[in-house]
Chains A and B, each alone.
Chain A
Amino acid sequence: MLSRLTYTLRETWASFKRNVTLTVAAIITSAVSLLIFGLTLLIQHGFDNLLVKWEGGIEMIVNVRAQASDEQRAVISAALDQQRGVIIQSYTYCDVECSLADADRVLAGDPTSRELLDETNIPTQFKVIPNEGTEVDTLRALKVSYNDLPNVYSVELAEDQIDLIAKLKGFAGLYTTGLAIALMFAAVLLIWNTIRTAMYARRREIEVMKLVGATDWFIRIPFMLEGLIQGVIGGLVACAGLWFVNNRWTAGVAAFPDDSGFEAMVVAGNQLTVVMLIILGIGAVVGMIGSGIAASRFLDV
């Protein structure tokens, strides 16, 4: 068993060395395609973060200043209750604790701003779900009337944000995913070609191996391992690229104006880790597919 493992690793390494140019080309191609795919995932995460406050059918948020009294909040609540069943289906009050949790997500990319918020100064929120079929113009009229209520900081409408964000998300998602898929296909082909070339270069050895009774799997495995390693190295390079880009983006966003809205588009550490693991997995699959097809197809050299 150990001697077989040694043999497999030795032959894989020998093939790597023999095929350096093609191997490097295959790794670069897979790294670029995986990086673009990874960026697509990060962008999607960023947009999701931007849209997270509108989850669950919420279409209007009334932001209330921290210094608002219980009576003032009751006035807002009463104003909302007046429209319940007419324009509004339901609403929830997001208290200090809930608003702080929201801030953790929305300001993940702007820790300086987040640090400025605490129990004493964070605005609380009334999150409103309108009736089905409520016109946007009706909500806009409601927004204007709620703006005048005491200690209301602002009133946000989903309609104003979601359309633009959804369009941007769709545009970025479609084109970057399309490009990434095309490049991944190129990576599979390049790995396939690298392995085919490696097998052709070693056709005499393969012929001898078959004649002395080596099984097809014994012959294939070093080549498949070579493809797998190419894919994984490509994935690692792409992960390094993703980390760098995300790091630069996070640093850049901190310098944006507070009301730019971009701070929510920062991808937090755990989301980045998940994307990196996905990219590594896809890299391994791309390598396995390319090399697996070649190693099966070109065994009869």
Chain B
Amino acid sequence: MIRLENVTKSYSAEVVALRDASFDIPKGEFVFLVGPSGSGKSTLLRLLNREDRPERGAVWVAGRNIIDMPPSRVPHLRRNIGNVFQDYKLLPNKTVFENVAFAQEVIGRPKHVIRQQVPAVLDLVGLAGKEDRFPHQLSGGEQQRVSVARAFANRPLILLADEPTGNLDPATGEGIMRLLDRINKTGTTVVMATHDQRIVNTMRKRVIQLDRGVIVRDQARGVYE
């Protein structure tokens, strides 16, 4: 599903975010990206989303090298990728329902499909009955659930999560992880960048560790070291 081949990305001569990184993630796998701040985790997620391009190497997503992908095709790539962020990135002037529906509306889903799918996905993330609330009326954990629902609404092949539990207390974070695990079990490949040692150690999934842009460890059923 995802393959990196000798990928190097630098922001300047001194700042090399990724150095000769290579790995392969099969369909349906759950992978943690770990490492200190500035190790290249977020850069890697940006490359997978084609928000950025490397200087060298190839990034394969769903069978296509997205480095050479023309800009007009990038939106279509992103319809197969869901994104969850530490700061949720919800639209404050839209309700829970509208936030999730918005993701479907902007890719041209018909209204009747949206009316069917949004309640189903809100039910999946445990927010049934809170459709009409605005983000400021929700707790942090609930806002992150909306963000997950929005990312999953289009049933993406891949879900990229950048520190999704970074702003949450441990109990709420665990709830989000259970949710991501459930989504992963539906066949969606999940790649999650995190600093949360406890979560990584509890989940025992594949761990790719980065240090100053270099992959220093790639371990199945790994722990945070």
Contact = CB atoms under 8 A, between A and B. Distances in A.
A210 B51 CA distance: 10
Interface in A180-215: 204-205, 207-215
Q: Which of A210, A211, A218, A219 has the most CB atoms of chain B within a 10 A radius of its CB? A: A211
Given A204-B89, A205-B91, A208-B102, A213 B110 contact: no
Given A204-B91, A215-B75, A209 B106 contact: yes
Contacts of A7: 105-106
B110 A212 contact: no
Interface in B76-108: 76-79, 83, 89, 91, 102-103, 105-108
Contacts, number: 53
Interface in B46-88: 49, 71-72, 75-79, 83
A264 B79 CA distance: 66
A3 interface: yes
B48 to A, nearest CB: 12
A213 B110 CA distance: 16
A297 interface: no
A4 interface: yes
Contact of A207 (B79, B89, B108): B89
B103 A208 contact: yes
Interface string B105-129: 1111111000000000000000000
Contact of B78 (A3, A4, A211, A218): A211
Contact of A211 (B49, B72, B105): B49
A3 B113 CA distance: 11
Interface in A208-253: 208-216, 218-219
A218 B109 CA distance: 13
Interface string B163-204: 000000000000000000000000000000000000000000
Q: Which of B79, B105, B154 has the most CB atoms of chain A within a 10 A radius of its CB? A: B105
B78 A210 contact: yes
A68 B105 CA distance: 81
Contacts of A214: 75, 106-107
B86 to A, nearest CB: 14
Contact of A208 (B49, B71, B72, B89): B89
B69 to A, nearest CB: 13
Main secondary structure of the interface of A (DSSP, over half): helix
Contacts of B105: 3, 7
B150 interface: yes
Nearest to B91: A205
B79 A213 contact: yes
Contacts of B103: 208, 212
B78 to A, nearest CB: 4
A208 B106 CA distance: 10
Given A208-B89, A213-B76, A218 B110 contact: no
A213 B91 contact: no
Contacts of B72: 215
A182 B210 CA distance: 57
Contacts of B77: 213
Contacts of A212: 78-79, 83, 102-103, 106-107, 150, 154
Nearest to A202: B91
Given A3-B105, A208-B103, A218-B106, A213 B78 contact: yes
Nearest to B71: A216
Contacts of B49: 211
Contact of B107 (A205, A207, A213, A216): A213
A4 B103 CA distance: 13
3 smallest CB-CB distances across A and B, nearest first, come from: A213-B79, A214-B106, A213-B78
9 contacts: A3-B108, A3-B111, A205-B102, A208-B102, A212-B150, A213-B78, A213-B154, A214-B106, A219-B106
Interface of A: 3-4, 7, 204-205, 207-216, 218-219
Given A212-B79, A215-B72, 11 more contacts: A3-B110, A205-B91, A208-B102, A211-B49, A211-B83, A212-B83, A212-B150, A213-B75, A213-B154, A216-B71, A216-B75
